[in-house]
Structure 1
Amino acid sequence: MPRAARKAQMLAVAEEVFAERGYLAASMDEIAERVGVSKPMLYEYFGSKEGLLVGCIDKARTELREATEQAVIGAADSPESMLRLGVLAFFRFIAERRQSYGLLRHEAAVTVPSAVEEIEAIRRQQTDLMIGWMGMALPGADLLELEAAAEILVGSCERLAQWCERRPEVTPERATDLLMTAVWTGLSSRAGN
């Protein structure tokens, strides 16, 4: 199997095991067995169990960026639709990975220092995407205001995603509607809508 495909397989299995057992209870032996490789091979690819977890988070960050970019690029025809599509892509991404998202948010963020850095990198990535999209939609806008709005949006999305964990009946579409109702009024005044 090519190295990239093997690495992707290891990450997918590790994410499953971490989500099922929790980071602390997950074992490299079980992950290696499920993948069908030796434990030393896992260490060769990732260095440690922590390195494997960080690899899972990094993979999620890449996938989230791709999902949000694809949702917005070419499909958005106004600042509001740009924001709505990006937010909806986030909530769909979280809903599809509910168990893994819960693990990262609860356990890994507390027990693994390098995971905290990776999770913060996801927040910065999404904030930077929002700043870029709002900058295109609001040419000439004050950068400080764009940065603040992006931080507010990312924080709001994260908190609402946590609320959705407790309210599984709330769909990604409903969560998006709730967020847009709460934040679009202020942003639309800047967009001239």
Structure 2
Amino acid sequence: MPRAERERQMIDVAEQVFAERGYLAASMDEIAERVGVSKPMLYEYFNSKEGLLLACIRQARSELRLATEDAVADVADAEEALRRGLHAFFVFIDRRRQSWLLLRHEMTLIGTPAADEIEATRRQQTDLIGKLMTGYFGADSPEQVEASAEFVVGACERLAIWCERHEHVTPETATDYAMDLLWGGLRRRVLH
């Protein structure tokens, strides 16, 4: 198997084990066994359990960025851009539940490089939203744009956690709930 394909396989299995057991309880032995490789091979690819976790988080962050960027590409309307971006986020969480669980279980990782990687994921989304807002909204200060983007990210994270407790809520419904609250405050700032 080519190295890149093997690495992807290891990351996918590790993500599943980390999501099931939590980072602290997950073992490299179990991950190696599920992948069908030796434990030393895992260490050869990732150096440590933390290195494997970081690879999982980076992959999830990259996939989330691609999903949200693709969703808003070539959208000329601010409301539609927000709706599509939110929908892409909630679809990602619905379809990639393990990735989402990995990203949201940061409390067990405080003070580690993994916590920094999770915060980098938030920053990535905030930067993307801020960039979009700058293109659609009036003469808001950079600080106001950044604060608004942080608010959107925080609100969506909390709504996604709420959706975990209400499994019947679809990505479309979650998007509608978020739009109902967020767009009301943002629409008056749109350039006409």
Equivalent residue for 2:162?
Answer: 163
Name the SS for the 1:80 alignment partner.
Answer: helix
**Contact 2:130–2:145 under 8 Å retained in 1:** yes
Equivalent residue for 1:13?
Answer: 13
Q: Please, what is the CA RMSD of the aligned residues?
A: 1.6
Equivalent residue for 2:107?
Answer: 109
Q: How far apart, in 2, do the equivalents of 1:8 and 1:136 lie?
A: 36
TM-score by length of structure 1 reads: 0.92
1:121 maps onto 2:120 in alignment: yes
**Contact 2:64–2:89 under 8 Å retained in 1:** yes
Count of residue correspondences: 191
**Contact 2:15–2:102 under 8 Å retained in 1:** no
Q: Report the AA paired with residue 41 of structure 1.
A: M
Shift of 1:99: 3.9
**Contact 1:28–1:42 under 8 Å retained in 2:** yes
- Go from structure 1 to structure 2 and tell me whether the alpha carbon gap of 1:7 and 1:139 turns closer, same or farther (over 3 Å shift): farther
Q: How far apart, in 2, do the equivalents of 1:142 and 1:10 lie?
A: 44
Q: Report the AA paired with residue 153 of structure 1.
A: V
Query: Which piece of structure 1 moves more, 18-27 or 165-174?
Result: 18-27
Q: Report the AA paired with residue 63 of structure 1.
A: E
- Go from structure 1 to structure 2 and tell me whether the alpha carbon gap of 1:53 and 1:109 turns closer, same or farther (over 3 Å shift): farther
Q: How far apart, in 2, do the equivalents of 1:87 and 1:62 lie?
A: 17
Moved >3 Å (runs of 4+): none
Q: How far apart, in 2, do the equivalents of 1:29 and 1:38 lie?
A: 8
Equivalent residue for 2:67?
Answer: 67
**Contact 1:14–1:31 under 8 Å retained in 2:** yes
Gaps of 5+ in 1: none
TM-score by length of structure 2 reads: 0.92
Superposed counterparts of 1:6-155, under 5 Å: 6-74=6-74, 76-106=75-105, 108-111=106-109, 113-138=112-137, 140-155=139-154
Equivalent residue for 1:4?
Answer: 4
